[in-house]
Chain A
Amino acid sequence: GENVEQHPSTLSVQEGDSAVIKCTYSDSASNYFPWYKQELGKGPQLIIDIRSNVGEKKDQRIAVTLNKTAKHFSLHITETQPEDSAVYFCAASMSFGNEKLTFGTGTRLTIIP
């Protein structure tokens, strides 16, 4: 089955700096890669996703890149703000056939004011 590894497990950055979280996956059949943000006391919420036919996707201060050959994808947050402090999870799945999302182990991001 799919295995998703995520690094780092914790990350502290100064407010205004950039943060990068990296994930690798094992199953070359995976073609959908979402990122979820979990704030304290809440369930995870989708913030951005990317499909395998695209190499990069941006949404304001958030971007995701995908390298299918190397089987890794990354989340980039620019101009970090205190409200970016949360736990972030990457995940991988297939569009059809096996609809299970396999999650990484999570990254606790802390923005230092």
Chain B
Amino acid sequence: DVKVTQSSRYLVKRTGEKVFLECVQDMDHENMFWYRQDPGLGLRLIYFSYDVKMKEKGDIPEGYSVSREKKERFSLILESASTNQTSMYLCASSLPGGDTEAFFGQGTRLTVV
């Protein structure tokens, strides 16, 4: 059974904290993605990585950074959390190519207070 695992289901952090969201996949996928999901806005791409140590900005990268030191792990970093980063964060992975199935984790609901 293929799996994308996000380290936390729920997180509460304070404004200004540095926050790490971790994602691990066991399918040996080259591509990994971080999306943000907000009501009425759908899924918006923050960053994606198509190989170890490679990353590309998505549509809303401001305030975020990422790290991919190993193929199976993709981390999203909020350098200084702000209340407007309160959201559901979804990690996904896929094989190379724009027409391959993306497998999603169950999401991390982050609240910044």
Contact = CB atoms under 8 A, between A and B. Distances in A.
B42 A96 contact: no
B74 interface: no
Contact of B98 (A44, A46, A89, A96): A96
Contact of A99 (B31, B43, B59): B31
Interface stretch (B12-20, B63-71, B99-107): B99-107
A44 B104 contact: yes
A9 interface: yes
Interface residues of A, number: 30
Contacts of A31: 99
Nearest to B42: A105
Nearest to A101: B102
Contacts of B48: 99-100
Interface in B20-78: 31, 33, 35, 40-45, 48, 50, 58-59
A99 B45 CA distance: 12
Contacts of A32: 98-99
A43 B40 contact: no
A34 B101 contact: yes
A26 interface: no
B45 A95 contact: no
A36 B97 CA distance: 18
B43 A103 contact: yes
Interface string A22-37: 0000000001101010
Interface of A: 1, 6, 9, 31-32, 34, 36, 41-46, 49, 51, 89, 93-106
Given A34-B101, A99-B97, A106-B42, 20 more contacts: A1-B59, A9-B40, A31-B99, A41-B106, A42-B107, A43-B90, A43-B107, A89-B43, A93-B98, A93-B99, A96-B97, A98-B98, A99-B31, A100-B48, A101-B33, A101-B98, A102-B45, A103-B42, A103-B44, A105-B41
